[in-house]
């Protein structure tokens, strides 16, 4: 066993884990009610990191790997089983502020206690027996399946949230939570890897320790950065989930019923007037804002846009803004790209340039230059 590599890897990773864990558990957050959800998520993640730090401490200070390899493997698997749920719950809480319930908490804790009990019972089997080996492989398989199941559920929730943002917000709110998707895919790879790496021969076990460092650095930095965007994402989620549950305002009285033929002409007229008045230039406009302006129901308006324009609300607004920007680029050569971006309703010139390039195949400046050369 290359003790130096093993010990040095623990000495590098353990202080980082302790710092990340305590900072996420005790770190300051803005004193606003909207951040209560973020605070719960970060505390759950902090607990998960401290649980892993405790596991690393046992490895470093007690050298359990040298005393009983089988006991070490079972300890690792039991630790991962608990932290998998903590990681998943922390991220799910960011997407659903009602995810943590007493029943769900008890169900997962009981499952973990059963897992830990089975792992403990395996220690009473003779070392090197086929039953012990088979039991550890079964627990590792259970852990991997459990981790993948939690990850798939999280990814489905993330996909549902980003799809909802696309249908209801003109700005790309989903970009603010993209790190959740990246981290989850990374967690699947790393989590499955942990289940396998813990069986590595002694001389390679330091790889299991070192592999965690970039993973947790990314997690910590993502949480720190997300503080800047959480309030906007949380408000968007609250509004959209409330509407999905039927709490949003219905159609304003005094207009035709949605099933009547005159309703369709009514909504067409209002949308055409809104486009002619360049209402799409309003920064941050949402489906709810537009439905109120057009005196209609947001659900019907979303369905209408999807059916008539064959695109989501955000794509529709973006197309209108890009077409407006192109007219300004062509007709107003004295305007800067920044001024055109602001006038078109984009929240930043970088987002405008990126969106314009994706649609037209070149930057706004190059598109303007190509017009002048013709």
Q: What is the CATH number of the domain that holds 344?
A: 1.10.10.60
pLDDT at residue 194, rounded to an integer: 63
85 plus 175 within the same structural domain: yes
56 plus 164 within the same structural domain: yes
71 plus 219 within the same structural domain: yes
Residue 254 lies in a domain: no
pLDDT at residue 346, rounded to an integer: 92
The token duo for 261 is: 């033929």
Q: What is the CATH number of the domain that holds 152?
A: 1.20.1070
271 plus 238 within the same structural domain: no
pLDDT at residue 204, rounded to an integer: 72
197 plus 292 within the same structural domain: no
Regions in the chain scoring below 50 on pLDDT: 1-2, 247-258, 260-263
Model pLDDT for residues 352-373, shown as the tens digit of each residue:
999 999 999 999 999 998 887 6
Burial classification of residue 282, based on how many CB atoms lie within 10 Å of its CB (0-12 exposed, 13-18 middle, 19 or more buried): middle
Which residues form the domain of 59?
Answer: 3-243
Binning the chain into helix, strand and coil, the percentages to the nearest 5 are 80, 0, 20
Q: How many CA atoms lie within 13 A of 238 on its CB side?
A: 11
Model pLDDT for residues 95-140, shown as the tens digit of each residue:
998 899 999 999 999 999 999 999 999 989 988 788 998 999 999 8
217 plus 265 within the same structural domain: no
217 plus 273 within the same structural domain: no
239 plus 285 within the same structural domain: no
The pair phi, psi for residue 274, each rounded to 5°, is -65, -40
Which residues, in sequence order, are CB contacts of 318 under 8 Å at separation 6+?
A: 170, 355, 359
The token duo for 25 is: 């558990």
Q: How many domains does the chain have?
A: 2
Residue 332 lies in a domain: yes
299 plus 238 within the same structural domain: no
Residue 252 lies in a domain: no
Helices 69-95 + 178-197 axis angle, to 10 = 170
Instruction: Give the whole-angstrom CA distance, residue 125 versus residue 128.
Output: 9
pLDDT at residue 207, rounded to an integer: 75
pLDDT at residue 251, rounded to an integer: 41
3-state DSSP call for residue 374? Answer: coil
151 plus 234 within the same structural domain: yes
Nearest in space to 222 (alpha carbons), one of 40, 41, 26: 41
Residue 198 lies in a domain: yes
Cβ–Cβ under 8 Å, residues 88 and 150: yes
């Amino acid at each position: 066993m290359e003790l130096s590599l093993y010990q040095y890897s623990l000495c590098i990773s353990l202080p980082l884990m302790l710092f990340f864990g305590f900072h996420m558990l005790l770190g300051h957050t803005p004193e606003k009610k909207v951040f209560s959800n973020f605070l719960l998520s970060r505390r759950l993640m902090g607990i998960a990191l401290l649980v892993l730090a405790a596991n690393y401490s046992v490895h470093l200070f007690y050298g359990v790997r040298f005393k009983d390899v089988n006991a070490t493997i079972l300890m690792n698997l039991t630790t991962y089983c608990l932290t998998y749920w903590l990681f998943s719950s922390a991220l799910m809480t960011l997407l659903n502020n009602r995810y943590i319930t007493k029943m769900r908490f008890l169900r997962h804790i009981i499952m973990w206690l059963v897992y830990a009990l089975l792992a403990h019972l395996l220690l009473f089997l003779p070392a090197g027996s086929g039953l012990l080996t088979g039991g550890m492989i079964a627990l590792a398989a259970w852990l991997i399946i459990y981790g993948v199941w939690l990850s798939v559920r999280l990814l489905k929730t993330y996909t549902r949230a980003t799809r909802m943002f696309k249908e209801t917000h003109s700005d790309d709110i989903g970009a603010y939570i993209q790190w959740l998707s990246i981290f989850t895919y990374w967690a699947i790879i790393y989590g499955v890897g942990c289940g396998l790496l813990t069986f590595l021969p002694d001389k390679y076990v330091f790889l299991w320790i070192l592999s965690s460092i970039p993973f947790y650095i990314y997690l910590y930095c993502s949480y720190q950065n997300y503080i800047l965007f959480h309030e906007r994402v949380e408000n968007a989620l609250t509004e959209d989930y409330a509407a999905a549950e039927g709490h949003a305002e219905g159609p304003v009285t005094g207009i035709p019923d949605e099933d009547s033929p005159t309703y369709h002409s009514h909504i067409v007229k209002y949308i055409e007037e809104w486009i002619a008045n360049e209402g799409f230039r309003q920064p941050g406009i949402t489906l709810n804002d537009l439905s109120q302006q057009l005196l209609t129901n947001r659900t019907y308006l979303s369905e209408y846009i999807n059916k008539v324009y064959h695109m989501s609300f955000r794509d529709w607004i973006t197309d209108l803004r890009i077409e407006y920007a192109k007219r300004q680029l062509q007709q107003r050569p004295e305007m800067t790209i920044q001024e055109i971006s602001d006038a078109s309703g984009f929240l930043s010139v970088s987002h405008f340039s990126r969106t314009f390039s994706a649609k037209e195949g070149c930057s706004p400046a190059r598109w303007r230059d190509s017009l002048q050369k013709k």
